[in-house]
């Protein structure tokens, strides 16, 4: 029972309940076998009520995907906001994304598959996520250039360099393809890739 010093917890919103049950169904049965009627039954509502919040199964999958991507984006934003040097921030963002994706693949593969599918189909949830990552990395590149840590003449080329060089470690499709490669080995490759990017950004050749 809540005390005077502990606030009464807010009831879970309907859309959040639906997402929780939908994610559970994906984990148990896979996306292809998910039925809106079954999700609605478990959530204690009609399937028409589910469609009020999510007009299609694809919209429901995108919302489940977006739900776990938000902490990934928040972590990158916190890194970009930190007072650390720009070269350290860039390394931390790339490593953070790589580790977050790999963690999700290992712990929650069927939900990770939803993300991969959204990337393959070019859906808005994947595009928005990429745009947010690009924005945080661009902030770090701008900061590093203005502070004299990076010698960058063209910021667009610099951003493209980072994403091209780190593709294997920031693309969910590539990370899924590398799932059988030992994690320590992939972490080492990621570190070497980041160091290469930093050398190029500091060289004045881009």
Query: CATH classification of 11-55 is 3.40.50.300, yes or no?
Result: no
Least Cα distance to 92 among 130, 150, 140, 129 occurs for 140
Q: Where are the alpha helices (DSSP H) in the chain?
A: 14-29, 36-43, 47-53, 57-81, 86-107, 109-120, 124-146, 155-165, 167-170, 172-177, 183-203
Would the pLDDT of 2 be above 50? no
Contacts of range 97-103, beta carbons closer than 8 Å, 24 or more positions apart = 97/72, 97/133, 97/169, 97/170, 98/166, 98/169, 98/170, 98/175, 98/186, 98/187, 98/190, 99/187, 100/71, 100/72, 100/75, 101/72, 101/170, 101/172, 101/175, 102/175, 102/183, 102/186
pLDDT of residue 14: 85
b/e per residue 117-148 (b: at least 16 CB within 10 A) = bbbeeebebbeebeebbeebbbbbbbbbbeee
Instruction: Read off the pLDDT of residues 134-186 as tens digits, 9 standing for 90 and up.
Output: 999 999 999 999 999 999 989 999 999 999 999 999 999 999 999 999 999 99
CA-to-CA distance for 206 and 202, rounded, in angstroms?
A: 9
Q: Exposed, middle or buried: residue 28 (CB in 10 Å: 0-12, 13-18, 19+)?
A: exposed
Average pLDDT of the chain is 92
The answer to whether the pTM exceeds 0.85 is yes
Average pLDDT over residues 12-39: 91
Domain with CATH 1.10.357.10 in the chain: 58-203
Phi-psi region of 8 (alpha: psi -120 to 50; beta: other; left: phi over 0): beta
Least Cα distance to 144 among 159, 133, 129 occurs for 159
Q: How many CA atoms lie within 13 A of 164 on its CB side?
A: 8
User: Which of 5-14, 52-61, 180-189 shows the lowest mean pLDDT across its residues?
Assistant: 5-14
Domain with CATH 1.10.10.60 in the chain: 11-55
CATH second-level architecture of 58-203? Orthogonal Bundle (1.10)
């Amino acid at each position: 029972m809540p005390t005077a010093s502990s606030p009464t917890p807010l009831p879970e919103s309907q859309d959040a309940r639906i997402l929780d049950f939908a994610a559970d169904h994906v984990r148990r049965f896979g996306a292809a076998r998910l039925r809106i009627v079954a999700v609605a039954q478990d959530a204690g509502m009609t399937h028409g009520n589910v469609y009020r919040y999510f007009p299609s199964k694809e919209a429901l999958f995108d919302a489940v995907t977006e739900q776990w991507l938000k902490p990934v984006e928040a972590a990158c934003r916190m890194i970009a906001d930190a007072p650390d040097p720009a070269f350290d921030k860039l390394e931390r963002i790339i490593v953070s994304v790589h580790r977050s994706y790999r963690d999700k693949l290992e712990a929650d593969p069927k939900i990770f598959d939803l993300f991969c599918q959204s990337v393959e189909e070019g859906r808005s949830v994947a595009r928005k996520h990429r745009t947010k990552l690009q924005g945080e990395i661009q902030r770090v590149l701008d900061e590093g250039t203005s502070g004299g840590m990076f010698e960058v003449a063209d910021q667009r080329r610099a951003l493209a360099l980072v994403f091209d060089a780190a593709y294997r470690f920031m693309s969910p499709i590539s990370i899924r393809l590398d799932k059988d490669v030992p994690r320590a080995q992939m972490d080492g490759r990621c570190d070497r890739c980041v160091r290469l990017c930093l050398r190029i950004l500091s060289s004045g050749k881009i």
